[in-house]
Amino acid sequence: MAMSSLLLVLKPFLLPPRHVPICSSTHPTSFNTCRKLNLNLHTPIQHNVLRKFTIPNNLPIENKTSQLNAKAKLVEASEAKATSEKKIPLLDVVVKRKRQVFSRRKWNFLDIEIAGGILAMHLLSLLAPFYFSWSALWVAIFLYVVTGLFGITLSYHRNLSHRSFKLSKPLEYLFAYCGVMALQCEKPNNVGDLQKQPFYRFLQSTYHAHPIALVVQLYLLGGVHFLVWGMGVRIVWIYHITWLVNLVCHVWGKQAWNTGDLSRNNWWVAILSFGEGWHNNHHAFEYSARHGLEWWQLDMTWYVVRLLQILGLATDVKLPNEAQKERLALNTSTAG
């Protein structure tokens, strides 16, 4: 299942970071942010609004009453619209556009396949309490590091999507293959030149065979226990961590940089996602191989990249310089 395809299914659930129709009055730069995003601040309904309407004195009583009734209906409609807006819990942020998630969606075969795969992994993970073993747990953790850190955050995101550093082709392909086992990429269309490389075309054309091969290996090595934990629990965990980055890090956390959007730095998401939770840092410097820009901002993916750089395996590692930081810095620290 492609990450791009998965996002097509999940797109209605996500808040796009640069075009979100919401406003916040709690952040010090909220007014500038809303103005940059062409958003309208929510103004409370004035209940005495009828006093502002001018009714000519020479009109018959019936006409005056009709106009007042018409104005009252307009006010009621405005109030109904205002009450239909939902406030995000714990924040002074109001969602002003109601999304039609399922009712207006035209489902195609790919949508059904992806949704079916996600549902299957969740159903498989429900068997975890009945097939628990310590060896199965360690298999899930090991595969989570291999596929989540090396495959998704290091390879797919920072290397292939943002070109934050360069790797030798054998190492690049190895890490990309780890990402295939996370069931998040079938079609490498996030970077244009990937389609020109035979290796990525091979992965695209044989995508389903690789997770199936992993399923067979897990079953042969540890039976249903390894299958439930190494596939079901691990894949569901990776899915939800990915969704946490895209959802939580646009709602809860702190901003260190004037990015003109609602991206946040969230420390606990960063711990769970190998450093991807420093999302405001990432939006400010998308090219940076390092997301945890402060020494205390835990970023496991960056530590691996740095180690590869020391060993001479990673080159052209991109980081923001002080001048670039000063241009975007707010009058707050980079606290998560």
**215-260 pLDDT per residue, tens:** 999 999 999 999 999 999 999 999 999 999 999 999 999 999 999 9
Residue 127 has what pLDDT? 98
Which of 23-27, 90-94, 179-183, 249-253 shows the lowest mean pLDDT across its residues? 23-27
Residue 33 has what pLDDT? 36
How do residues 112-131 score in pLDDT, each as one tens digit?
888 899 999 999 999 999 99
- pLDDT band of residue 267 (cuts 50, 70, 90) is very high
Residue 46 has what pLDDT? 39
Where is pLDDT greater, at 308 or 330? Answer: 308
Dihedral sign computed on CA atoms, order 150, 170, 6, 205: negative
CA neighbours within 13 Å on the CB side: how many for 285? 23
Question: Is it the case that residue 109 has pLDDT exceeding 90?
Answer: no
How do residues 22-41 score in pLDDT, each as one tens digit?
333 333 333 333 333 433 33
Nearest to 157 by CA among 101, 44, 241, 213: 241
Nearest to 5 by CA among 163, 113, 101, 104: 113
Where is pLDDT greater, at 325 or 62? Answer: 325
* Average pLDDT for 261-285: 96
Whole-number Cα distances in Å, 318 to 253, 306, 326: 25, 11, 17
Mean pLDDT in the chain?
80
Residue 110 has what pLDDT? 82
d(CA 282, CA 235): 24
Residue 39 has what pLDDT? 37
- pLDDT band of residue 318 (cuts 50, 70, 90) is very high
Question: Is it the case that residue 98 has pLDDT exceeding 70?
Answer: no
Structure tokens given for 33: 């942010």
**What's phi and psi for 278, nearest 5 deg?**
-80, 65
* Average pLDDT for 264-286: 97
Residue 228 has what pLDDT? 98
Predicted TM-score (pTM) of the model is: 0.72
